[in-house]
Amino acid sequence: MKKDFISVHDITRYEFHELLDLAQEIKKDREKYRKALKNQVLAMIFEKPSLRTRMTFEVGMLELGGTAIYLSPNEIQLGKRETVEDVAHNLERWVDGIMIRTFAHDNIVRLAAASKVPVINALTDLSHPCQAMADFLTLREHKGGLSELTLAWSGDGNNVAHSLMLAAAKAGTKMAVATPKGYEPAPAIVRWAREDGRDTGFELLLTNDPREAVRGADAVYADVWTSMGQEAEKEARIKTFIPYQVNPALMALAKPGAIFMHCLPAHREEEVTASVLDSPCSVVFDQAENRLHIQKAILLTLMGKKEKHG
């Protein structure tokens, strides 16, 4: 694997499955890896708040024998107090890895290019690869062979949708993405996904009809309609996305036994009804737990068996 984990597009199909396998092994025997990253330090840069990202990376480092240090938006101010490159050159002298949750995807690209230590993408406006990896670990646990499955997305063609498409391409999972007109996934990501999935059996359907996307799907995925930084658009977005709400009627079009997925936090009665979110078909908390296990696999792969920097 490359030095950094920036996008699912950057890893090979073999590396994709290797990370899932390692995460499953870690999940089965958490004690086995208790000291795998002993004395190593992860810097966690947050420009966006998060429950799951902070807890899973911090707990992950602790369980691997290392330490995680939280850096708030006020402490870093990327590109304001100092350049992204200067932040990288400072941190690489003190820590063994950097995790960043930011707005502009260019921030993480620049940080990784300047840093001598591994950089992990914990979310940008373009992608959310750790979430997608956790989701495909969850899919594999609940549904088995990934190449046999169809994943349906209903909502905004956002960063989570982007990373899920790239993961589906690596896995050979068919994916159907339903969005309102004007909210489709980025064309560059669509192109990457189709390139990555050329030899895996991956198929991608892009539609404006959520019923077409969900019909016969093994899993149905929703995300909030208004992401951080889009608050001013909230009322307009709610009106636009109401037809894409995942409710019992939409879930009924999926395959019998289909699961419901969401990266959380969820806005009940907006993108998903409470009756679906809290139902037996919902695996949202399995997804949240699996963030811990897949991120430990990523940390081990990037930071394991390396001498500490002086």
Sheet holding 67-71, edge to edge: 67-71, 41-46, 97-101, 119-121
Question: Residue type at 22?
Answer: L
Annotation marks residue 110 as catalytic: no
181 Cα distance to chain centroid:
24
Of the candidates 263, 287, 293, 295, the residue annotated as catalytic is 263
Question: Residue type at 10?
Answer: D
Containing H/E element for 99?
strand 97-101
HEC-encoded secondary structure of 79-97? CCCECHHHHHHHHCCCCCE
Of the candidates 52, 101, 162, 293, the residue annotated as catalytic is 101
Tokens of 30: 């958490």
Of the candidates 223, 237, 287, 295, the residue annotated as catalytic is 223
Q: Percent helix, strand, coil in the chain (nearest 5)?
A: 45, 15, 40
Annotation marks residue 291 as catalytic: yes
Of the candidates 128, 140, 162, 262, the residue annotated as catalytic is 128
Annotation marks residue 281 as catalytic: no
Annotation marks residue 215 as catalytic: no
The per-residue b/e assignment along 54-88, b for 16 or more CB within 10 angstroms, e otherwise, is bebbbebbebbebbbeebeeeebebeeeeebeebb
Of the candidates 40, 131, 287, 295, the residue annotated as catalytic is 131
Residue 112 and residue 98: Cα distance in Å, rounded? Answer: 9
Number of CB atoms found within 10 A of residue 147's CB: 12
Q: 30 phi and psi, to 5 degrees?
A: -65, -30
Question: Residue type at 214?
Answer: V
User: In 185-228, which ranges are E strands?
Assistant: 204-207, 219-222
Of the candidates 52, 110, 262, 291, the residue annotated as catalytic is 291
Instruction: Tell me which residues are annotated as active site.
Output: 101, 128, 131, 223, 263, 291
